Amino acid sequence: MRTDAAKAVAAARDLARKPFAWTFTTPLYVGASLNPVNSSIIATALVPIATELHVPVGSTAVLVSSLYLASAIAQPTAGKLAEVLGARRIFLAGIVLVLLGGVVGGLGQNLAMLTVARVLVGVGTSAAFPCAMVLIRRRAEDAGLDAPPGGVLGGIAIAGMATAAVGPPIGGLLVGAGGWRWAFLINIPVTAMAMVMAVRWLPKDPVLDRADRRFCRVADRIDLPGILGFAVTMSALVIFLMDLPRLDWTALAVFALAAVPTVRWELRRTAPFFDFRGLAANGALTRTYLRQGLTLLGTYSVMYGMTQWMEAAHGLSTVTAGLLLLPMGAVSALLSRPLASRNLVRGPLIVSAVTMLIGSAGIMLLTSHSPAIALVLVSLVFGVTSAATTVGNQTALYLAAPPDQIGTASGLFRTFGYLGTITSAVIGGIVFRDGASDHGLHILGLVLVGAGVVVLLLTVLDRRLMGRGTTT
């Protein structure tokens, strides 16, 4: 008894002295890297997959869109499950799904199997971020911390941005050396490592009563009908967006037919999955979602749209175009940690909006005869945008979300980011529908200037934003 009591006292002292030890944060960082690296690493495998499976290259785009769609739906769902069943349990379940996706993809013999594998990977990797936010919030509360743990939040941001940046080079090496199946098989050793670390180092969840483990009870607490309605609505919306400028009336009809009853259902629930009333009352959280979606619309338009333009209009090779945009990821990763460690909110968000405007204006000045240094400068500016918005909005999310809903709120934060990413691809397809020309690039820049103005207004007019992240 005395030994157990002494261990408990020692553990409490350790928690108060150093609540975010490396043993706690490392599995969270590894988990946070799984989604972005899987999002980017597949790019180098699409052509080899099409060649070996004897399918058109265009049809392999489903391997990209399926992961984005699965992630957009699964992120808030995983957050809700983490709040109800325990963040560690859902974190581990997500790792198992990623491992399964790696096996299915590595053994896949057709495009259907590979699509299933990507959905499994998308759902599994979606558990990491919302579960990490739940665990971080609870650890901060247990340690009696009032301010957000900026260094830890910055580490989560860096893990995502750095792995997204190095994904294509790593994918190129893996696919070049071992074939396209390694774009899936790489998940097996990584998830095995993440599983061991999570089991050993993450704090165990509270024991659930037998009644709380029953399916009906769990379904009611997570609002299963609301989740299903959200999934159908989001799927139809994404399909509609990805078909633009062609109007997919079927997807639009499904969206309307699913959205109306889902909204009515959620408004009647006392604890809904998608809390419309809560979002209406919590303007700070809603504005954080909008800022994140619009800013990622800008950064991913640069990553995808400018890359397409550099290759088609500027005559650069794929490798050269990728290298010219590499500073964007490098600057973003380098700036994230110092910004996050100071718990700054308003300052980074203003910087994000201003640099987005500057970078968008720079896009409007580029031509197919612009020197490479001009392209690098635009890339550098948007690198600052990416770092500042990720850090500022992530801290704003931590402060604005209700503590007991941080998992769902974090998942929706990522969902809005995915919508921005998907919309960037839609806009790129529209402005470059007749080919990647200077005129199309300038229209893209004009659209991004408009988005930047909205982001700036959402920031400077937000009285709830504070210069430094502290609780009030």
Each residue's pLDDT tens digit, 262-295: 999 999 998 899 889 888 899 899 999 999 999 9
Whether residue 317 is found in the same domain as residue 426: yes
pLDDT: which is higher, 35 or 16: 35
pLDDT band (50, 70, 90) for residue 154:
confident
The sign of the CA dihedral 91, 97, 38, 66 is: negative
Whether residue 261 is found in the same domain as residue 282: no
The sign of the CA dihedral 118, 61, 47, 162 is: negative
Domain residues for 231? 224-268
- Specify the pTM: 0.87
Each residue's pLDDT tens digit, 420-446: 888 887 888 888 877 778 888 999 999
Are the beta carbons of 247 and 85 closer than 8 angstroms?
no
Whether residue 235 is found in the same domain as residue 202: no
Whether residue 57 is found in the same domain as residue 93: yes
pLDDT at 364: 93
Widest Cα–Cα separation across the chain: 77
pLDDT: which is higher, 14 or 289: 289
Whether residue 249 is found in the same domain as residue 343: no
Range among 317-331, 365-379, 423-437 with highest mean pLDDT value: 365-379
Query: Mapping DSSP to helix (H, G, I), strand (E, B) and coil, where does residue 166 land?
Result: helix
Whether residue 256 is found in the same domain as residue 279: no
Q: Please state the domain count of the chain.
A: 3
State the Cα–Cα distance between residues 111 and 167, nearest whole angstrom: 22
Whether residue 299 is found in the same domain as residue 421: yes
Are the beta carbons of 391 and 344 closer than 8 angstroms?
yes
**Residue where a domain stops, chosen among 198, 220, 242:** 220
Whether residue 331 is found in the same domain as residue 229: no
Please determine, for residue 10, whether its predicted confidence score (pLDDT) is greater than 80. no
pLDDT at 3: 60
Whether residue 309 is found in the same domain as residue 419: yes
pLDDT band (50, 70, 90) for residue 6:
low
State the Cα–Cα distance between residues 456 and 153, nearest whole angstrom: 23
Q: What is the CATH number of the domain that holds 450?
A: 1.20.1250.20
Encoded tokens for 360: 């968008």
Whether residue 365 is found in the same domain as residue 436: yes
Each residue's pLDDT tens digit, 325-337: 777 877 887 887 7
State the Cα–Cα distance between residues 137 and 33, nearest whole angstrom: 19
What are the φ/ψ torsions at residue 344 (nearest 5 degrees)? -80, 145
Whether residue 68 is found in the same domain as residue 193: yes
pLDDT band (50, 70, 90) for residue 59:
confident
Whether residue 264 is found in the same domain as residue 311: no
Q: What is the mean pLDDT of the chain?
A: 86
**Residue where a domain stops, chosen among 220, 251, 286:** 220
Work out the number of other CB atoms within 10 angstroms of the CB of residue 388: 26
Closest CA to 397 of 283, 285, 472: 285
